[in-house]
Amino acid sequence: MIRKSGPLICLLAAPETSPGVLYGLFDVLSTVGAVYDDMTTGVPGEELLDVKIVARSKAPFRCLGNFLIEPHADIYEIDFADAVVVCDLYTPIDQSPTGVYDEEVAWLRKMYESNALLSSVCSGSAVLAETGLLNGLEVSGHWAYRHMFEKFYPEVKWQENSVLNLAYESKRLVTCGGVTSWQDLAIYLIERLCGLEHANKTARVHLLAKHTEGQLPFAAMTQRSQNTDALIGDCQQWIAKHYEAANPVATMAERTGLSPRTFARRFKVATGYQPMEYVQGIRMERARYLLETGSASVDDISFEVGYEDPASFRRVFKRKLGITPIRYRKKFSGVRG
């Protein structure tokens, strides 16, 4: 395998990889040092990073969307890298990738032992969790994988709002949120390996900007379908139509005939949420829709979704989504604003 000069970044890919993440990272990282000079003087500069797509086998394969991937190397050819990115590897939200990527997981441990920085994008954090290196740490990933991590990786602490989690940078472990968080990761890797000036120049050429408001404004409530508890299923159907009702948790408990404590326990087991957390999630989803599509005032929306006190609604909204209702409306009310 021919090595270029400069720090080596390996992008780990598989048939479950999102081409947008893989080729987005490759395109941006492989132009560091060259593209800015080309865009401003007409003369390309020197490429500063050696970026390689690696996989279990060097044989070409198709990834999501039937896009062709031709790895530069297989994982057995790579004994050292400055940084490794576990790209988005789609995993259903109610399953774990245990046993699917055993060879890749063993290679990731080997690379970590050889002093590489390990990072992940979106669902790639689940594959990184398979190494055991994330146990006891707060980890980021796509917001839809919260319950999957709680179930299959109980030793890993889920960080719901973070887009680029640098809390364990000193341990050479960086995890990122949803798919477009690769952009934040790319800027970080360039700054780490090539310096802030090159990071800013590359970001300016590619129009890359950090997700400064976190992941929560984009997150939706994951309502896992379940048919194991008919009483709780009935409550879910009821609250979907009566989310604005007063004292909805007490009403649901009464519908089941269960004690409040037993009801709360069974609701959590069946849905993954505490009853009031579920109610708030349903109400916030409705509020989001109203903010995105209409012009009703925030006070009117708060009343419509079940809050008699608009200030209380605003507090819950900010806690759940990370931004105020007004800011949310400006962000998501359509391209024309």
Would residue 219 count as lying in a domain? no
Domain match, 61 and 153 both: yes
Domain match, 202 and 237 both: no
Q: Which of 169, 171, 176 is nearest to 140 (CA)?
A: 176
Would residue 148 count as lying in a domain? yes
Tell me, what's the pLDDT at 192?
96
The confidence band for 220, taking pLDDT boundaries of 50, 70 and 90, is: confident
What does the block give as tokens for 178?
């949803």
> How far is the C-alpha of 195 from the C-alpha of 188, rounded, in Å?
9
Would residue 144 count as lying in a domain? yes
Does the structure show a pLDDT above 70 at 335? no
Tell me, what's the pLDDT at 159?
86
Q: Which long-range contacts (CB under 8 A, 24 or more apart) does 165-169 make?
A: 165/138, 165/139, 165/140, 167/137, 167/138, 168/137, 168/138
Give the residue from 152, 173, 206 where a domain finishes: 206
Does the structure show a pLDDT above 60 at 1? no
**Can you give the C-alpha Rg of the chain in angstroms?**
23
Mean pLDDT of the 188-204 span: 93
Tell me, what's the pLDDT at 216?
78
Does the structure show a pLDDT above 60 at 223? yes
Does the structure show a pLDDT above 80 at 3? no
Domain match, 236 and 124 both: no
Domain match, 242 and 121 both: no
Mean pLDDT of the 296-319 span: 95
Q: What is the CATH number of the domain that holds 19?
A: 3.40.50.880
Q: Which residue has the higher pLDDT, 219 or 104?
A: 104
Domain match, 95 and 147 both: yes
Tell me, what's the pLDDT at 272?
86
Q: What is the CATH number of the domain that holds 327?
A: 1.10.10.60
Would residue 2 count as lying in a domain? no
Which amino acid appears at position 301 of this protein?
Answer: I
Mean pLDDT of the 299-309 span: 95
Would residue 69 count as lying in a domain? yes
Mean pLDDT of the 89-105 span: 93
Q: Which residue has the higher pLDDT, 196 or 337?
A: 196
Would residue 224 count as lying in a domain? no
Q: Which residue has the higher pLDDT, 39 or 48?
A: 48
What does the block give as tokens for 223?
């309502």
The confidence band for 161, taking pLDDT boundaries of 50, 70 and 90, is: confident
Mean pLDDT of the 167-180 span: 93
Domain match, 187 and 316 both: no
Contact 96, 126 (CB under 8 A): yes
Residues 127-143 have pLDDT tens digits of 999 999 999 999 999 98
Number of domains in the chain: 2
Mean pLDDT of the 260-286 span: 93
Residues 19-33 have pLDDT tens digits of 999 999 999 999 999
Domain match, 121 and 85 both: yes
Would residue 223 count as lying in a domain? no
The confidence band for 225, taking pLDDT boundaries of 50, 70 and 90, is: low
Tell me, what's the pLDDT at 39?
86
Domain match, 94 and 173 both: yes
Domain match, 104 and 36 both: yes
Tell me, what's the pLDDT at 54?
98
Domain match, 106 and 150 both: yes
**54 Cα distance to chain centroid:** 22
The confidence band for 244, taking pLDDT boundaries of 50, 70 and 90, is: very high
Mean pLDDT of the 238-267 span: 94
Q: Which of 57, 61, 53, 56 is nearest to 84 (CA)?
A: 53
Question: Containing domain of residue 189, as a range?
Answer: 8-206
Tell me, what's the pLDDT at 228?
83
Would residue 214 count as lying in a domain? no
As a whole number, the mean pLDDT across the chain is: 92
Mean pLDDT of the 171-186 span: 94
Give the residue from 172, 206, 240 where a domain finishes: 206
Question: What is the percentage of the chain residues whose pLDDT exceeds 90?
Answer: 74
> How far is the C-alpha of 158 from the C-alpha of 137, rounded, in Å?
8
Domain match, 197 and 262 both: no
Left (φ > 0), alpha (ψ -120 to 50) or beta: where does 68 sit? beta
The confidence band for 336, taking pLDDT boundaries of 50, 70 and 90, is: low
Tell me, what's the pLDDT at 224?
64
Does the structure show a pLDDT above 90 at 185? yes
Domain match, 85 and 162 both: yes
Does the structure show a pLDDT above 90 at 11? yes
